[in-house]
Amino acid sequence: MKTAGKNIDINLQAMGKMSEICDVLERSGYQGRDLETYLVRLLFCFFADDTGIFCKGQLYDYILHTNHSDGVLTDTIMKLFAVLDRRKDDREGFSEELAEFPYINGRMFAGELPVHPLADSVRNLLLSSQEIAWGRLSPAIFGAMFQEIMNQKTRREWGTYYTSEENIRKLIRPLFLDNLWAEFHSIKHSRHKLLAFHEKLTELRFLDPACGCGNFLIVTYQELRRLELEVIRNLYDMNQRVLDVGMYCRVQVSQFYGIEYEPFQAHIAKVCMWLADHQLNMEAADAFGMYYARIPLVQSASIVEGNALSMDWNEVVVAGQLNYIIGNPPFVGARLMNEGQKQDIRNVFRGSSAAGNMDYVTAWYRKAASYMAETQIRAAFVSTNSICQGEQAAMLWKSLKFNYHTGIDFAYRSFVWNNEARGQAKVHCVIIGFSDWSVRDADSEKKSLFDGDEEWKVSHINGYLIAAPDVYVQPRRSPVSEWVPAMTFGSMANDGGNLILQPEEADFLMMKYPQLKEEGAIRPFIGSEEYINRKQRYCLWLLGIRPEVYENIPEIQRRIQAVKSFREYSPRAATRKLAKFPEIFGEIRQPEQGKYILVPRVSSWRRSYIPMGFLPAETIASDAAQMVPQATEELFGILTSAMHMAWVRAVAGRLKSDYRYSSSIVYNNFPFPDLDRESADDIHEKAARVLAIREQYAEVPLAWLYDDTSMPSALKNAHRELDLAVDRSYGYEFDTEKERVIFLMDLYSKL
């Protein structure tokens, strides 16, 4: 079984136990916030009983001696919660056994819960909890897992969603941690410098403005405390017993701040920070050889409940006192946001026409950039890779640069954000570190660009996460290269499906009414899905067809009438106007003669090339694809080359992780080469070779033919020859995609 950190099995066992307890408490009458609070308190008690906050086994013994009758257990637990919230000198009326429990504070046990009788089965569950090593929980992932048990739909699938600690370290290491360790190693033999460095660690402040259950804050705190422990090892003789460990462990949870919209998650974040603090104190105790605990709880992370996009972050922590912003803001696409989220975007991007096309996560970038302007704060977020692709990349990074002098300090190019748990949701993400470059000489600093296992030191990273100057690829209505023909969408039926035919329907009509085939009234109808997978679909294409050909065919008349009704009842005025012409497509762009190149609008990211090719004018292209009429083999060769695909991967939008090819962003902005006769002939010859080999596999789906694992070697070789021919047309030969993209970005900026 894969693990996230060392103790995923312990976390899963603990979550299973908490799920069982949750079920019983729900049946007893606990709901909502009361249920959440009850479970969090029990979790803390289990943890305390296993880690020395309580005397070892104190909780177990207390419950073991409880009377078995219903109702008594409820009173027993409520008394425990009450005593944990009282100072030692304020426990009159409590039994001697209860009075021995420590005072916890931190408002962990403040406030009374409703009293519902608990069945004796709860007692057995509480007693069996001692079998779990609660002290080995990983607070960084347990918080997110704990939240799931509150959802009955996911309770039996606990362990589905959480962020692995290793992924969090991907963000914090280049942001600050690597530099801190490097600084430590450079000065660790100087006591004077080491003391100053220790002081520096105690002054660092961190904010996660979408902290959820606090996992980013927790891992950051863990790493900072472990660095501090190394500092202490080098400052002091660890062989001597130290009277007050706390005097040396000075990094505190109070250096951490968070903002969270959901109250329960905010509460969990605070609790898990306390759990992490105690675990780290135990690590320190092992190093010093004596027990150390921060009980009663006095200091805590400042986790504020609220909407981070509508509040002033200075009210959480003043910008001048903060060092780093970290986190993993919500992933919600621009077209999937609810009304409240759309309003958040409009407020944050007030005055910008870009608001309607931005993903939700971009609001955190804009808000952070505004907050940290003219400060030394550095920030890093995990985001969907969409913010570095398509028109969104230009809108976001141009805005941040010119409004707030924001530059990118480091970045991880797209990778799978793997949760390492069963049922995991694999999302393609980027990590971007950024800051206000106007407050320091940032241009002279080397930037780190990560791609897979590689790290490159580069002079600049632009908004597409390319080691190239800043360019902003924005939508164009026509190609930037003048010799290139326009690309358009295919034709849109706008018919409620009534003009579209499945193969068996088309065959039936053409067999029963031969004139439909003779007159070309039924045509192949091809979109991205049909083209890539060689599926058949047809349509009624009655444009230019004499009415007497079909006016006496009841099957067609029923379809035409259905189109008319569909359009008449549309909420769109433009569609209602089309009801006057129900026999034809709503939007017609099909060329009347010749051939055209069909380009799928969406294609798998796993393919080195987008499958595209020539179709005759008699085959109708749907609006699920794009087409280039009057196209040549030379144009086909360039579009299906490594050069063009490098541009696609750099600037195209994404549908999940698949390429979303658009004419306005990808095609119209692509810097096509100025072909001389020799280059044109070379590309024409190599493109014809690719098409000829494909023709040998005419019955094989292009999805298989262009899958990198199944592509025939002859086709691979033909494409390599075509790639070289296209490279030569630019006057260069490239070894890597990175070189191609940098070259194209530079060429585009000149165009």
Tens-place pLDDT, residues 634-644: 999 999 999 99
* Cβ–Cβ under 8 Å, residues 155 and 222: no
Supply φ then ψ for residue 183, to 5 degrees. -65, -40
State residue 158's pLDDT score.
36
Q: Is the pLDDT of residue 9 over 80?
A: no
Q: What is the pLDDT of residue 422?
A: 44
pLDDT band at 379 (very low <50, low <70, confident <90, very high): very high
pLDDT digits (tens, 9 = 90+) for 151-197: 655 434 433 345 678 889 999 999 999 999 999 999 999 999 999 99
* C-beta pairs of 228-237 under 8 Å, 24+ apart in sequence: 228/198, 228/201, 229/283, 229/284, 229/287, 230/184, 230/188, 231/184, 231/188, 231/194, 231/197, 231/198, 231/201, 232/198, 232/284, 232/287, 233/287, 234/188, 234/194, 235/191, 235/194, 235/195, 235/198
From CA 408, how far away is CA 394, in angstroms rounded? 14
- The Cα 601–Cα 171 span in angstroms is 33
Say which amino acid occupies 360.
Answer: Y
- What is the C-alpha to C-alpha distance for residues 727 and 748, in angstroms, rounded to an integer? 16
**Tens of pLDDT, residues 97-127:** 999 999 987 678 888 999 998 877 888 888 9
Q: Are 155 and 169 in contact (CB under 8 A)?
A: no
For residue range 279-331, what is the model confidence (pLDDT) as tens digits?
Answer: 888 888 777 766 666 666 667 789 999 999 999 999 999 999 999 999 999 88
User: Locate tokens 């358009």: which residue?
Assistant: 488
| Amino acid in position 208 | D
Q: What percent of the chain has pLDDT over 70?
A: 91
**Tokens of residue 495, six digits:** 């018919």
726 — pLDDT class (breaks 50, 70, 90): very high
- What is the C-alpha separation between 183 and 407, in angstroms, rounded? 24
Instruction: Please provide residue 324's backbone torsions phi and psi, each rounded to the nearest 5 degrees.
Output: -140, 145
- Angle in degrees, CA 119, 122, 124, rounded to 5: 115
Tell me the residue type at 158: W
Token digits for 349? 């991007």
| pLDDT reading at 6 higher than 70 | no
Q: Does residue 568 have a pLDDT over 90?
A: yes
68 pLDDT more than 60:
no
d(CA 750, CA 669): 12
d(CA 256, CA 274): 12
**Separation CA 661–CA 663 (nearest Å):** 7
The closest alpha carbon to 628, from 639, 643, 618, belongs to: 639
Q: Which of 622-655 are b and which e, b meaning 16 or more Cβ less than 10 Å from the residue's Cβ?
A: bbbbbbbbebbbbbbbbbbbbbbbbbbbbbbbbe
pLDDT digits 0-9 by tens, 642-699: 999 999 999 998 777 788 899 999 999 999 999 999 999 999 999 999 999 999 999 9
Residue with tokens 């280049």: 174
Contact in structure between 287 and 235 (CB atoms under 8 Å): no
How far apart are alpha carbons 101 and 54 in whole angstroms? 6
Compute, in degrees rounded to 10, the torsion defined by CA atoms 276, 277, 280, 286.
-130
Give the separation between CA 554 and CA 560, rounded to whole angstroms.
Answer: 10
Is the four-CA dihedral 278, 283, 285, 286 of positive or negative sign?
Answer: positive
Burial of 243 (0-12, 13-18, 19+ CB in 10 A): exposed
Kindly state the average pLDDT of the residues 420-438. 76
- Per-residue pLDDT, averaged over 543-547, amounts to 95
Query: Which tens digit of pLDDT belongs to each residue from 732-744?
Result: 989 988 899 999 9
Supply the pLDDT for residue 52. Answer: 83
Tens-place pLDDT, residues 502-524: 999 999 999 999 999 999 999 99
Cis peptide before 503 (omega within 30 of 0): no
How far is residue 399's CA from residue 362's CA, in Å, rounded to a whole number? 11
- Determine what percent of the chain is predicted with pLDDT higher than 90: 60
Strand stretches in 590-735, DSSP E? 595-600, 602-603, 613-616, 620-621, 625-629, 653-655, 658-660
pLDDT, one tens digit per residue, over 455-473 is 999 999 999 999 988 999 9
CB atoms within 10 A of CB 514: 10
Report how far apart, in Å, the C-alpha atoms of 309 and of each of 34, 207, 237, 369, 375 are.
28, 14, 48, 12, 20
Torsion of CA 106, 111, 112, 118, to 10 degrees: -40
> Would you say 214 and 303 are in contact if contact means Cβ atoms under 8 Å apart?
yes
Phi–psi pair at 23, nearest 5 degrees:
-60, -45
Q: At what angle do helices 390-404 and 362-371 cross, to 10 degrees?
A: 10
pLDDT, residue 165, reads 83
> Average pLDDT for residues 425-432, to the nearest whole number?
80
Q: What beta strand segments (E) does 543-690 contain?
A: 595-600, 602-603, 613-616, 620-621, 625-629, 653-655, 658-660
For strands 522-526 and 620-621, give the pairing.
Answer: parallel
The stretch 380-406 carries a mean pLDDT of 91
User: How deeply is 179 buried, as exposed, middle or buried, from its count of CB atoms within 10 A (0-12, 13-18, 19+)?
Assistant: exposed
Among all chains, which residue has been given the structure tokens 């790493």?
223
User: Using an 8 Å Cβ cutoff, are 244 and 258 in contact?
Assistant: no
Contact 266, 304 (CB under 8 A): yes
What are residue 105's phi and psi, to 5 degrees? 65, -155
Q: Measuring CA to CA, which residue among 180, 218, 222 is closest to residue 197? A: 180
Q: What's the pLDDT at 392? A: 87
Give the E-state strand segments of 425-482 in sequence order: 427-436, 447-451, 454-458
> Which residues have C-beta within 8 Å of that of residue 459, sequence separation ≥ 6?
443, 446, 447, 467
For residue 308, the model assigns a pLDDT of 96
Rounded distance between C-alpha atoms, residue 205 and residue 218, angstroms:
13
Neighbours of 547 (CB within 10 A): 9
The whole-chain average pLDDT of the chain stands at 89
What pairing do the DSSP bridges indicate for beta strands 625-629 and 595-600? antiparallel
Please report, for the chain, the start and end positions of each structural domain, with discontinuous segments joined by +.
Answer: 8-137, 163-328, 334-376+384-472, 474-490+591-751, 492-588
Q: What's the one-letter identity of residue 538?
A: Y
Question: 10 Å Cβ neighbour count for 719?
Answer: 23
Q: How far apart are CA 279 and CA 264, in angstroms?
A: 22
Instruction: Give the pLDDT score at 591.
Output: 95
Name the nearest CA neighbour of 526 among 535, 518, 514.
535
Question: In terms of C-beta density within 10 A (0-12 exposed, 13-18 middle, 19 or more buried), how is residue 723 classed?
Answer: buried
| Contact of 627 with 621, CB cutoff 8 Å | yes
- Tell me which amino acid residue 516 is: L
